[in-house]
A and B are shown apart, each in its own frame.
Chain A
Amino acid sequence: MTGGTDRADPLDARHAEFIQGPVSVIIASRNAELVADAVRGCGCRVSRDRRQVTVLVEAGRAVTLLEDVATNGMIAAVFSQPSTHQTIQLKGSDARVVRVTAADRVAVRQHLRAWSGDLERIGFDVRFAAALHGGTGELAAIRFTPAAAFQQTPGPAAGQPLKP
């Protein structure tokens, strides 16, 4: 991987807050044939030292993705706020499936509320947001160390390494 922030740097506080806010979460991995798969996440938590990111998905939606992550640890996660289009992408190579905690479940419920609110501001119905969000079934958690971070807000800077 090239072009991202230095592996030693954790996320800064602002980006950590952003990815735990009312953002759409899309998670991708790939299989042994280098075919990528993507799944909509339903929440995100950042560790206290901001070196570890845990993304939450509804397990039933992510069977292939969870297998791929368990096999090769490769991950890309995009966080985008629907009302502003502000978007960042994190990448890691040490992703693993971890046990879901009570705090994760709380984070998923909070995420649904905040994210639905953002969608409502741009004209989407909360019922629609809930159907799209998922997270009511069994959850799975994927933890990784962000090794690279990219700006992905639409525009000429899309794809550039994230600047603190």
Chain B
Amino acid sequence: MPLSIPTLRRCFEGAIPATIATCSQDGTPNVSYISEVHYVDRQHVALSFQFFSKTRPNVLENPRATVVVIHPDTGAQYKLAVRYLRTEDSGPLFECMKAKLAGLASHAGMTGVFKLRGSDVYRVESVTEVHGTPLAAPPPPEVDVTTLRACMARLSAAGDLASLLDALLDVLADPIGIEHAMVLMHDPAADRLYTVASRGYAQSGVGAEVRPGEGIIGAAAQARIPIRISHATSEFGYGRAMREAAERRGITGLEHEIPFPGLPESQSQIAVPILAGDRLLGVLFAESAAPGRFGYDEEDGFMVLASHVGAVAALLEEEPAAPARDEAHAGRAVAAPQGAPLRVRRYAENDSVFVDEEYLIKGVAGAILWRLLRAHAEDGRSDHTNRELRLDPSIRLPDLSENLEARLILLARRLEERCPSLRIEKTGRGRFRFHVLRPVTLAEIPR
């Protein structure tokens, strides 16, 4: 294979620092280590600008330089003849490099010392291999195009959002072999992400929230780019970032937070945005106790799957108008509630719902649950359509593009985990049945 920037991406994982040789206008050469060389595209790399060393003034007055990178498996060295173009100190490239550098700093014992001041973008003018005796190259990545094709076929077969997200987590587990993963959906009105599906955790964490900008998930959502960390870092550790952010906000009274699932011994993390056009639908997150688990190839695979999920999810959003099929369901008798009554309280202030003093859910999903309970209590109704919820002003769906289906998945899963006496059963596209297995007493706490 001819040498090119894409074939050298393994050299850019930061396992071994690269070096850059520059020269001042007066002819004095300089060499510096670079913590992070980042693959931008086939013609460009970005280097981490961390310290005001001699490299800085040199490239500003004389942009031509040589970067030497090392293959972390073979020890082969490659020379990149580069030309400095510009420095970015905000935006997607910067955010991506900042997160990665935080992981590298943690691994090197340099947390607090390695700080990204800017992403220096260089055009690569040529690549040459340095004469040497490298070790044999490792086997190619496990996830090849054939595997990816099979995964995408399984995603395309999903009939609704819930099965699409389940299929995504299923294919990640097998054949891809990623055991700890979750999907968070974006709530644009409240500007937060909420967990709707997860795999491999003791607690599912369904309903746990992250705000854009918080931790690796929030950073991926905010910048709409894939973000990877190869070694545990306190700076971007989502658990700590989330906890601290929650503390800063001051959790009081009704602001209940569902604990975030996560591997306590997590070393490698990846978060990629799920986009439908330019709309952020959510974030796919995975982690591993093994360091360096997610490389550029895995990032490519995640992005392919996430963009397919985004496209399929957007198609599934286009619900048929109140379908009149599934008469069998509609005609089927609903079992009468039995046993001790459930005491359900709803706080109008934030639509949070408590069942027998236990916090269950809040926000739009809380408002939907309250509406279903009232319809059951007042009219004995069990069968509902998405359309009817969409049109109901009491639910306060922020706008029409709001993903109602994702709220129903969240509600159904929270009920399954926390309140099995109430159950949502899908009865067709855009239709579902609300089962109430125990008598319910309702109490509304006004604002």
**Measuring CB to CB, which residues of chain A are less than 8 angstroms from any residue of chain B?**
1, 26-30, 33-40, 58, 60-61, 72, 74-78, 80, 85, 87, 89, 91, 93, 127-132, 134, 136, 150, 152, 154-156, 158-159
Contact = CB atoms under 8 A, between A and B. Distances in A.
Interface string B26-55: 011111110100000000000000111110
A38 B68 contact: yes
Contacts of A34: 23, 25, 27, 62, 64
Given A30-B23, A30-B27, A85 B108 contact: yes
Interface in B423-440: none
30 contacts: A1-B28, A26-B68, A28-B21, A28-B29, A30-B21, A30-B23, A33-B64, A35-B64, A36-B21, A37-B79, A38-B66, A40-B68, A40-B77, A58-B132, A61-B130, A61-B131, A72-B27, A75-B29, A76-B29, A77-B31, A78-B31, A85-B110, A91-B28, A131-B134, A132-B70, A136-B133, A154-B33, A154-B110, A154-B114, A158-B51
Given A26-B19, A128-B75, A154 B64 contact: no
B370 to A, nearest CB: 56
A116 B77 CA distance: 17
A38 B31 contact: yes
B33 A87 contact: yes
Contacts of B31: 26-28, 36, 38, 76-78, 89
Interface residues of B, number: 41
Contacts of B221: none
A136 B256 CA distance: 65
Q: Which 8 A-B pairs have the closest CB atoms?
A: A131-B75, A38-B21, A36-B21, A28-B21, A132-B75, A159-B53, A30-B23, A36-B23
Interface in B107-150: 108, 110, 113-114, 130-135
Contact of B19 (A38, A91, A132): A38
B65 interface: yes
Interface string B66-77: 101010001111
Contact of A36 (B25, B30, B53, B131): B30
B52 A159 contact: yes
Nearest to B65: A36
Contacts of B51: 154-156, 158-159
B22 interface: yes
Contacts of B52: 158-159
Given A134-B132, A154-B114, A158-B53, A28 B77 contact: no
A82 to B, nearest CB: 9
A41 B429 CA distance: 68
Contact of B74 (A87, A131, A155): A131
Contacts of A130: 75
A100 to B, nearest CB: 18
A37 B27 contact: no
Contact of A74 (B28, B32, B50, B54): B28
Contacts of A37: 21, 66, 79
Contacts of A131: 74-76, 132-135
A127 B133 CA distance: 11
Nearest to B134: A131
Contacts of A58: 131-132
A60 B131 contact: yes
Contacts of B131: 58, 60-61
A22 to B, nearest CB: 16
A156 B32 CA distance: 14
Nearest to B35: A154
Q: Which of A58, A77, A152 has the most CB of B within 10 A?
A: A152
B75 A78 contact: no
A39 B68 CA distance: 8
B120 to A, nearest CB: 16
B22 A152 contact: no
Contacts of A33: 64
A33 B20 CA distance: 17
Contacts of B108: 85
A127 to B, nearest CB: 6
B146 to A, nearest CB: 31
A97 B29 CA distance: 17
Given A34-B27, A132-B77, A80 B132 contact: no
Given A61-B131, A128-B75, A78 B19 contact: yes
A123 to B, nearest CB: 10
